[in-house]
Amino acid sequence: MPTDVDLTGLVTELRLRGELVARSVYVCPECGERYLGERRCPDCGRWCRRLGIGGNCPDCDHVLAMVELLGEDFR
């Protein structure tokens, strides 16, 4: 699926602004819960794995990484 989105450039820009963590999706390796901008699971206390930049779905409020929507790995 071709795209004009430059995720590498976007990640670089967010890093320069100090906003990368807040805009990143993380998943807990223990319980599988996803978090936006939280690097540690509040329930399990484990460090989460970064999936990439993303946000909340406007329809269902589920936390999604952009790479899941685009079907490509730009990390």
- In the numeric block, which tokens belong to residue 4? 């004009």
- The region, left, alpha or beta by phi > 0 then psi within -120 to 50, assigned to residue 27 is beta
- In the numeric block, which tokens belong to residue 28? 């807990």
- What pLDDT score does 72 carry? 60
Q: What is the mean pLDDT of each run of 10 residues along the chain (75 residues)?
A: 69 92 96 96 96 92 90 56
- What pLDDT score does 14 carry? 92
- What pLDDT score does 22 carry? 94
Domain boundaries, the chain: 24-75
Q: Which residue has the tokens 């901008």?
A: 37
